[in-house]
Structure 1
Amino acid sequence: MAPVVKFAAAAALLSPLLAGCVIYDSTGGDEVSVRVGSQTTTAQAAPLETLRAIRFDAGAVVVRVESNGCTQVSDFAVEVVDDQTAELTFTRESPDLCKALVPDGVELRWTYEELGLASGKAALVRNPLRLP
């Protein structure tokens, strides 16, 4: 049998083994498992950013987070689930790779308008808080 024909036959026989479908249910939690043949890979979602402090001040949400000197508002995404009680989740999208000593961290500020929140709305923050 010619090498090209052998390769085509092998590819035809192996292709069903290499094909796959992944279905991800986001309501199941933060752990995702993928099984390919006898191999299973498990991935964990990144942990939520631990906040050093949070306060609601003059129409804004102010959080204090760890910093190595370069942390800024643009490094974070804020997920807002607006229900009867708004749920806020702060996620660091860009690591702070600077090497400054910032023992008290930095304060970051988002206005209610930026977050789409009405003044006086009840809010729940999903991030863990670090005790002083």
Structure 2
Amino acid sequence: MKLITLAAISGAAFLAAGCVIIDADSDGYSSHYSSHDDRVYSADVSGDTVTVRVPSNGCTDKSYFEVDVDREDHNTFYVEFEREREDHCRALMPEGVELVYSFSELGIPAGASVVIENPVGR
């Protein structure tokens, strides 16, 4: 009986030490963003470019996003950025990363009006 008690106390001491293991590929992985939240930190349309700052854990680039462009009328386009995959890197990037898209890249004619559909802010 004393041996079982000693083993239980040793196990409790080990747990109290705070050993934490995180599997980056697990469903419970917590990152700087929710994969279902298409919020961008900031957005800017100037000249013929669209610039968005998005959450990142260090590896996010344009390939992580699908960009949906819809024409409203002759000269107005609605643009939405949709994250397609999670960033499992481990860099501390509280400011996220900036992604720059040209109008040409998005299929938008020069001089058009652009509306960003994503929620903007933190």
- Same topology, TM > 0.5: yes
Supply the distance in 2 between the matched residues of 1:121 and 1:57 (Cα, whole angstroms).
11
Aligned Cα root-mean-square deviation (Å)? 1.6
Identity of aligned residues (%): 37
- The answer for unaligned runs of 5 or more in structure 2 is 1-34
Supply the distance in 2 between the matched residues of 1:101 and 1:78 (Cα, whole angstroms).
25
Match of 2:46 in 1: 57
Please tell me the residue identity of whatever aligns with 1:106: V
2:83 maps to 1:114: no
The Cα of 1:110 is off from its aligned counterpart by 1.0
Structure (1/2) with the larger strand percentage: 1
Q: Give the TM-score taking structure 1 as reference length.
A: 0.60
Please tell me the residue identity of whatever aligns with 1:107: E
Alignment of 1:14-25 (within 5 A): none
The Cα of 1:80 is off from its aligned counterpart by 0.3
Supply the distance in 2 between the matched residues of 1:48 and 1:100 (Cα, whole angstroms).
20
Give the total of aligned pairs: 86
Residues 30-82 of structure 1 show CA distances to partners (whole Å, capped at 9, x for unaligned) of xxxxxxxxxxxxxxxx7451111111234211100010001000110000001
Contact 2:58–2:89 (CA<8 Å) still a contact in 1?
Answer: yes
Q: For the structure 1 residues 49 and 107, does the alpha-carbon distance in structure 2 shift closer, same or farther, using more than 3 Å as the test?
A: same
Q: Give the TM-score taking structure 2 as reference length.
A: 0.65
SS in 1 for 2:52: strand
- Structure 1 runs, 4 residues or longer, greater than 3 Å off: none
Point out the structure with max Rg over C-alpha: 1
Contact 2:48–2:111 (CA<8 Å) still a contact in 1?
Answer: no
- The answer for unaligned runs of 5 or more in structure 1 is 1-45
Alignment of 1:30-45 (within 5 A): none
Q: Which has the higher contact order (CA 8 A, sep 6+)?
A: 2
2:63 maps to 1:89: no
The Cα of 1:99 is off from its aligned counterpart by 1.0
Supply the distance in 2 between the matched residues of 1:97 and 1:87 (Cα, whole angstroms).
29
